[in-house]
Structure 1
């Protein structure tokens, strides 16, 4: 894998070449400002590795690096509107029950933003949560060319701290904050309106069915009474 970068004012940045085997990086050669840095786990003897590195460095400096920078500049020229666009992140602070631990997971999610660099921080009572408590944090691509990032924290059932999700991004004039007030009774409060609505509907349908049955039960009696009255009024002589 070979990658290069452009800094501000189209200044060429570093170039990195990596070789990998079975999912692990075996060799990495970095070129910046005419200097090379090599890191590797190659088992090639040192006396054989040096000539190989010398040839590779020459190729990088005289062939690969100029070609990579040229291709990158042409790409940026053609896609300047797309590359230079700024899309604001959509920020969410989600709390979800964890059945395994009996507690909850608080997740700070930023998605749909561009460019890719973002600072996403989860606060507890106004203080940043320690990195060793956080899971996630990887930058992932979306299908529309934007990016997303999620940071999560496991909390216990008795946790009553105030959590805040905060993001800073090039598309934002000010940092974006979302608060989460932990309330153990909140899930039940959210269910109560739904339960009351269902009970009200059941009651209404019950009243309607009851009235319909009463009308049906009263209808034959009324017909019978009318018929009987008519027969009683008939003259026996006829």
Structure 2
């Protein structure tokens, strides 16, 4: 395996090559600024390996390193906008019920970020939670080319304070979030019933208001109407 890097100032960086045999690395060579560093696990003396190492160094300096840097630069010209883009993560810390254990789970979720490297840390009362207590942490791709990561912690009904922080290349400073509560499916199932009751109350309230208005209108109409007297009828007859 061989790889090389391009630094931020467009200066070529280190090249590393590794050789493996039966699943184990047998030697590793680093090349940077004309200097070589060799690490090997085979039981060869320096004198025995010197001819092979000199040939390998010559190949790196004259063939492998220039070819790797050239290939990398051509790739960056074509895909530089995508490779160098930075998208901020959306980070949430939520607590919900764990249906398996009957307890609670605190989860720190970061999604929609690019590039893929991110550091998520869960805190309990301001102190980082030990890695052996945390589950998850796998980097997963989103459909739009960004990434997501979730870290979770099983908790009991205690009074600890939980928070989460995220460090990413797109962020100028560390992003710190506090706990949000997700009441889960039982709470969500109650919402339609509550909305239905509220709607019925509004309907009955409106009907009662209309009935009361009609009654007031009828009473007002009856109080404002009077039957003509007998004398008035006699006068009208004479005329």
TM range (shorter): 0.5 to 0.7
Per-residue deviation at 1:110? 1.8
Partner of 1:217: none
CA contact (8 A) 1:126 1:164 kept: yes
So what's the TM-score if we normalise by structure 2? 0.65
Partner of 1:193: 190
Alignment of 1:14-163 (within 5 A): 14-21=14-21, 23-42=23-42, 45-46=44-45, 48-95=48-95, 97-98=97-98, 103-142=103-142, 144-155=144-155, 157-163=156-162
CA contact (8 A) 2:30 2:38 kept: yes
Alignment size in residue pairs: 199
Q: 1:129 to 1:174 in 2, by over 3 A?
A: same
Q: 1:85 to 1:164 in 2, by over 3 A?
A: same
Partner of 1:172: 171
Structure 2: distance between partners of 1:3 and 1:146: 24
Q: Which runs of 5+ in 2 are unaligned?
A: 198-239
Bigger mean CA deviation after superposition, 119-128 or 3-12: 119-128
Q: 1:133 to 1:82 in 2, by over 3 A?
A: same
Q: Deviations over 1:45-68 (max 9, x none)?
A: 335444333322221122111111
C-alpha RMSD over aligned residues: 3.5
> For 2:171, what is the secondary structure of its paired residue?
coil
So what's the TM-score if we normalise by structure 1? 0.65
Q: 1:38 to 1:100 in 2, by over 3 A?
A: farther
Q: Which runs of 5+ in 1 are unaligned?
A: 201-238
Higher relative contact order (CA 8 A, sep 6+): 2
> For 2:187, what is the secondary structure of its paired residue?
helix
Per-residue deviation at 1:100? 6.2
CA contact (8 A) 1:85 1:115 kept: yes
CA contact (8 A) 2:92 2:180 kept: no
